[in-house]
């Protein structure tokens, strides 16, 4: 359960730092955006690293949510504490990130959701308790 709470916190912090370190995208001016990325290489690199770590952490949380829903629909045992932490943490995290920057958060969520769904293995549903 602590691992999922850690993933929620890391996902939120990395998303916040990514949004803070990237140049503003509203209103979007391509020349200004590229110029900021080129003239601030450390901030750009750190924003990209935060994006990668954050969407991987959120993908773990989304995978846990989807695996719990699938197991619940199959009438199998679900760890409700971990599922509840993942659901509340992910929804709260993305809500606060949406409040600060909508476009970057949508991109962040799409990457995390797609990778979380790709990493979901339906044949390993018997090993669900072992993985958590």
* DSSP per-residue letters across 49-101: HHHHHHHHHHHHHHHHHHHHHHHHHTT----HHHHHHHHHHHHHHHHHHHHH-
Q: What is the pLDDT of residues 45-103, one digit of tens each?
A: 999 999 999 999 999 999 999 988 888 888 888 888 888 999 999 999 999 999 998 88
Q: Where are the domains of the chain?
A: 2-131
CA–CA dist 91, 8 (Å, integer): 10
Confidence of residue 126 (pLDDT cuts 50, 70, 90): low
Alpha-carbon distance of 58 to 100, in angstroms, equals 18
User: Binning pLDDT at 50, 70 and 90, where does residue 113 land?
Assistant: very high
Nearest to 58, CA basis, from 107, 12, 122: 12
Quote the pTM value.
0.82
């Amino acid at each position: 359960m602590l691992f999922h709470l850690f993933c929620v916190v890391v996902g939120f912090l990395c998303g916040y730092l990514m949004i803070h370190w990237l140049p503003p995208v509203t209103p979007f001016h391509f020349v200004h955006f590229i110029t900021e990325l080129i003239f601030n290489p450390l901030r750009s690199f750190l924003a990209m690293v935060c994006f990668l770590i954050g969407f991987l952490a959120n993908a773990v949380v989304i995978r846990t949510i989807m695996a719990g829903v699938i197991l619940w629909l199959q009438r199998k045992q679900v760890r409700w504490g971990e599922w509840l932490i993942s659901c509340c943490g992910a929804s709260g995290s993305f809500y606060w990130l949406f409040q600060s920057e909508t476009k970057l958060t949508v991109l962040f969520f799409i990457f995390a959701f797609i990778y979380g769904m790709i990493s979901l293995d339906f044949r390993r549903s018997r090993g669900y308790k072992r993985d958590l």
